[in-house]
Amino acid sequence: MHIPDGYLSPSTCAVLYAAAATGWYSALKRLKRMLLTRVVPLISVFAAFSFVVMMFNLPLPGGTTGHALGVTIATIVLGPSGGILAISIALVIQALFFGDGGISTLGANCFNMAIIGSLVAYGSYRMIAAGSSITSRRRVVSAAIAGYLAVNAAALVAAIEFGIQPMLFHDARGTPLYAPYPLSIAIPAMMIGHLTFAGLAEAVITAGVVAYLQAADPALLLSTSGLAGGESLTLRPASGSLRRLWIAVAALMLLTPLGILAAGTAWGEWSPSQLAKTGVVKVQVSKSANHPSPAAVPAGLQKLATLWTAPFPAYAPSFVRSRAFGYLLSAMFAVGFLLAASLFLHRFLPRRGRTEYSG
């Protein structure tokens, strides 16, 4: 899942570097506050550990093998801030020293695997394991699920980053300049590998390690357990710096579809009056007839989906105007909106206690 140089445009890289930097900065600040001076040795050794775990070639059920990411273990033991930093450091080492992942795409890789991965792992682990005792089987299962979700979330974000490249960045003749596949290909292509191999590998190793720790050293699981007595290595609800991170993510998800919309208008022969005519919109929808249409789609969503794709000029590659892409952008916008809404609500509603987790 490490994205090499040349697959993402400079602007994509810049945006993702900014997003990653926000994550790094928040995580570091938070860790320094909690761990004070122990941050450097703890995160370093843990990053080295994650690095080694990433190298395990695990035999998976079904006869294949896969590599885990290690982000879930890092997050469960260190909490999300620690997970973000440890995995980011491992990724930097891999990129610089082993050419695994590019330099321009380092921000993207860290954002996908370290930040999204860690946050999804943490959120799902806490939610599914909520309240269960440290040594319960439920923790092992939730760790596995959290790992699976984390890896696939990271893969999905990476796939989206790939998939929007050809549409946004091509030369005048329509040649994609970076990753050449549209979302309709990028997403399935990326996800298949991760839904099967990588996700499983992560689930397997995370569950295995959690089970081992339950027997050998349960104290290490305490900090993210949400149980009383857990050392505060983890997230307190709606704490300042992490909330800012969620806000950044929400903003990203809200603005990206809008950005694409804007980009589309930049070189489109698009006039507002044309857009207003739903006739034009309907014609374009039918033109993408070679793409499978989902069974029953609410009319409103259909209209919304075509809103994104309508502005693109007729000579743009057809995959740009596919319905699938439109749905995806709508979904992204919706998730971004929900995220923003929940952050907003959480800010203004009374807090309900220590173990409440927001977002």
Partner 1 sequence: MKRGFLESTFVGFARVVTRAMISEETARRRGLLQALDPRVRVVGLFSLVLAVTLSRKISVVVALLTVAVAIAILSRVSLFVLVKRVWLVVLGFTAVIAVPAIFVTPGDPVATFGFLTITEQGLRTAAMLILRVETAVTFTTLLILCTPWTHVLKALRAFRLPKEAIAMLAMTHRYVFLLVETASQMLESRRSRTVGILKPAAQRRMAARTAGVLLSKSIELSNEVYLAMQSRGFRGDIQILSDFRLDAWDYLGLTAFLLAGGLAVWMGR
Cβ at position 317, least distance to partner 1 in Å: 5
Q: Which is nearer to partner 1, 38 or 277 (CB)?
A: 38
Half-sphere exposure of 9 (CA within 13 A, CB side): 15
Contact positions with partner 1 (CB under 8 A) in 242-301? none
Residues 45-84 that bind partner 1 (CB under 8 A): 45-49, 51-53, 55-61, 63, 65, 73, 77
Piece of 257-265, 312-320, 336-344, 350-358 that binds partner 1 (CB under 8 A): 312-320
Shortest reach from residue 256's CB to partner 1, in Å: 20
Q: Which residue stretch of 86-94, 121-129, 148-156, 300-308 sits at the interface with partner 1 (rule: CB under 8 A)?
A: 86-94
The two tokens of residue 89 are: 């450091």
Nearer to partner 1, 143 or 305 (CB): 143
Count of residues binding partner 1 (CB under 8 A)?
77
Say how many CA atoms lie within 13 Å of 286 toward its Cβ: 5
How many residues appear in the chain?
359
Closest CB to partner 1 among residues 136, 318 = 318
Q: What span, in angstroms and rounded, lies between the C-alpha atoms of 181 and 190?
A: 11
- 3 state DSSP class of 59: strand
* Residue 286 to residue 278: CA distance in whole angstroms: 13
Which range touches partner 1 (CB under 8 A), out of 90-98, 233-241, 294-302, 337-345? 90-98
Name, in order, each residue with C-beta under 8 angstroms of 264's C-beta and a sequence gap of 6 or more.
270, 308, 309, 311, 312
Q: Which long-range contacts does 250-254 make (Cβ < 8 Å, 24+ apart)?
A: 250/336, 250/337, 250/339, 250/340, 250/343, 251/336, 251/340, 252/15, 252/19, 252/336, 253/332, 253/333, 253/335, 253/336, 253/339, 254/333, 254/336, 254/337, 254/340
Among 134, 154, 179, 250, binds partner 1 (CB under 8 A): 179
Q: In the range 122-161, which residues lie near partner 1 by CB under 8 A? A: none
Rounded distance, CA 252 to CA 160, Å?
A: 12
Least separation in angstroms between CB 2 and partner 1: 11
- Of 34, 39, 87, 328, the residue at the interface with partner 1 (CB under 8 A) is 39
Min dist. Cβ of residue 6 to partner 1 (A): 3
Exactly one of 1, 27, 34, 43 binds partner 1 (CB under 8 A); which one?
43
Token pair for 8 = 């993402």
131 token code pair = 């309240």
200-229: which residues touch partner 1 (CB under 8 A)? Answer: 204-205, 207-209, 211-213, 216-217, 220
181 vs 327, which CB is nearer to partner 1? 181
